[in-house]
Every structure is written in C-alpha cells, then in structure tokens.
Structure 1
Amino acid sequence: MDFPALLRAVFALALTLGLIGLGAVMLRRFGPDALARLAKPKAERRLAIVENLVLDPTRRLVLVSCDGQEMLLLLGEGRVLAEGVAVGPPKDAA
C-alpha cells in the first residue's frame, strides 16, 4: 500500500468519524423528539398516563386518564393486578 492510498484511507476514516460525531451532537442538541416537532400536530388524545409510581422491581402504580376519568392501575408480573379504581381530581389543600 503506497503513501497516497494510506493518506486517503486515514482522511476517509476521519471524515466518517467526524460525521458520526456531528450527528451525535445534533441529536443531543435538538433532542430525540425533533422529528415529532416537525410533524403535523395530532388530534387531541383520549388516553394519557398522568403519573407512574414504581413500588418494587415487579410492581408499579399507574394513574391513567381516559376521557377525563382517572383510573388507578396496579401493574406487575406482565399483567394488571388490580384495575378500575376510579379516582377523582386532587382536592385543594386550602
């Protein structure tokens, strides 16, 4: 392998690594949801996770809102352990 071919390979490697680094910096700067911000806004969603509380490594409580109704779910072991506990909006402490 002669010197110009070696030099061309080193420059190609440097260019490739530079482009990968530039892509990483741009992804960090604009965030993973940059494409979502460019897309058209979607219609109002009916289902939303309001809050999530991890109880232990296998169980978690999830507060889900559906059509303005909030439900508390106990999830664990790949299934719903307790469901359908309806909760109202939080009451003012005043």
Structure 2
Amino acid sequence: MTETLSSIPWAVAALAVTIAAILLFARLAARAGLGAGPRAGRRLAVVETLAVDARRRLVIARIDGRETVLLLGGGNDLVVADLGRTAESGR
C-alpha cells in the first residue's frame, strides 16, 4: 500500500512534465510557422455569415477572388448571388 501511495506523486510529476513539454513544443511550432495558421495562396475563405433563422444562414464566400452569396441549410443549399471580383483580388 505504501508503495502505491509513494508512486502517485511521481506519476503526477511525470504527467506535469509531459504536459509542459507538449505545450512548449506547440509554442515553438507556432513560432516557427508550423500548424494551422493563415497560409498564403488560400483559394477559399468565408468572409461573413448571417443567421437567417434557426436552420438557415447566409454566407459570403470568397473563391479564387470572387465573392458568392450562399443560402445554406433548410434542406437545400442555394447560390443566391455572384458578387464578382473583389478589389483585393487585383484582377
């Protein structure tokens, strides 16, 4: 019984060191530019969303420099409007 009780602090310490190492490596990876940060050359972006009701929402999506308004949810999805090229796309 005493061996079990004396091993608990060692297990907690090992867990704390492991978690600290994971957090340290995650921070170093983020500083190095690895991970899920913004990438250059992305072709698809959600510009804005608006909840119409409990089931449907309007979404402005930028796809290859063109903005499109989509109505999503409610059984079927629709392209509401093609807004054309954005000023940011430069084309």
Q: What's the TM-score, normalizing by structure 2?
A: 0.59
Q: Are the counterparts in 1 of residues 71 and 80 from structure 2 also a CA contact under 8 Å?
A: no
Matches for 1:7-86 after TM superposition, within 5 Å:
7-19=5-17, 22=20, 26=23, 30=27, 34=30, 37-38=33-34, 44-77=41-74, 79-80=76-77, 82-86=78-82
C-alpha RMSD over aligned residues? 3.7
Q: Higher mean Cα deviation, 58-67 or 14-23?
A: 14-23
Percent identity for Structure 1 against Structure 2: 37
Q: Which amino acid aligns with 1:65?
A: R
Structure 1 ranges of 4+ moved more than 6 A: none
Hey, which of these two has a bigger chunk of strand by percent? Answer: 1
Give the length in aligned residue pairs. 82
Unpaired segments ≥5 residues, structure 1: none
Unpaired segments ≥5 residues, structure 2: none
